[in-house]
Amino acid sequence: MKRYLHALLTFTALALAIPAVASAHPDGHHHHNHQQPARPNIDWSAMPADIQALKTQLDQIKTEQKSLFQQMKSQNEQIREAGKALSKDKRKSLKQPAKQLIEKMKASKEAIREMRDLKRESWSSFHENAEKKQWAAAKTDMETIVKQKRQIIEKQQNIVRLQKQLITLIGPSAQS
């Protein structure tokens, strides 16, 4: 019974990498039906050129985030499949190093969540300032959003690196 519990705990620890990937999705959600309040459509062409340029940067970041998310999703599947192939003894031997990597992923996931909350606040401020045509303040908001999105990407890249480490850790073990 003790071995069974130990194996179950180890597999659970490996499976915890999955939520880290889901929460790192570029839109902040993945395959669930939570509705955020609809934002009013913005006529970007009516904005000053410097704000339009920042919007272009945001679009490029979003494209990069989508690519990162696909990579995280693919790696997560590799982790899941490799975890299923592990023997009880291999799971036991990998428990501690895997747990450390998973804890780092969780920390990155939590940091992403916090940054997203700040980004939402910045978007609200941007919308208010843009509506009032307060372009200097709107530009500052947009610069903040770009900076926040870049910080989120750094954390997502960190998750990708940690997943690769976990795959490397599990991979050879799953084959033997």
Q: State which of 4-13, 37-46, 47-56 shows the largest mean pLDDT.
A: 47-56
Task: Read off the pTM.
Answer: 0.74
Name every residue whose Cβ is closer than 8 Å to that of residue 97 and which is 6 or more positions away in sequence.
169
Section 43-69 average pLDDT: 94
Q: Give the percent of the chain with pLDDT over 70.
A: 74
> 27, 111 in Cβ contact below 8 A?
no
- Residue 158's alpha-carbon distances to 2, 25, 161, in angstroms, are 34, 13, 5
Average pLDDT over the chain, rounded to an integer? 82
| Integer Cα distance of 54 and 87 in angstroms | 51
Q: Is residue 25 pLDDT above 90, yes or no?
A: no
What DSSP letter does each residue of 67-114 carry, written as one string? HHHHHHHHHHHHHHHHHHH--HHHHHHHHHHHHHHHHHHHHHHHHHHH
Look at residue 39 in the predicted model and tell me its pLDDT: 60
DSSP assignment, residue 46? Answer: G
Q: How confident is the model at residue 124 (pLDDT cuts 50, 70, 90)?
A: very high
| Domain assignments of the chain as residue spans, ordered by start | 89-176
pLDDT tens per residue across span 86-115? 888 888 888 888 999 999 999 999 999 999
Q: Which of 1, 4, 11 is CA-nearest to residue 94?
A: 11
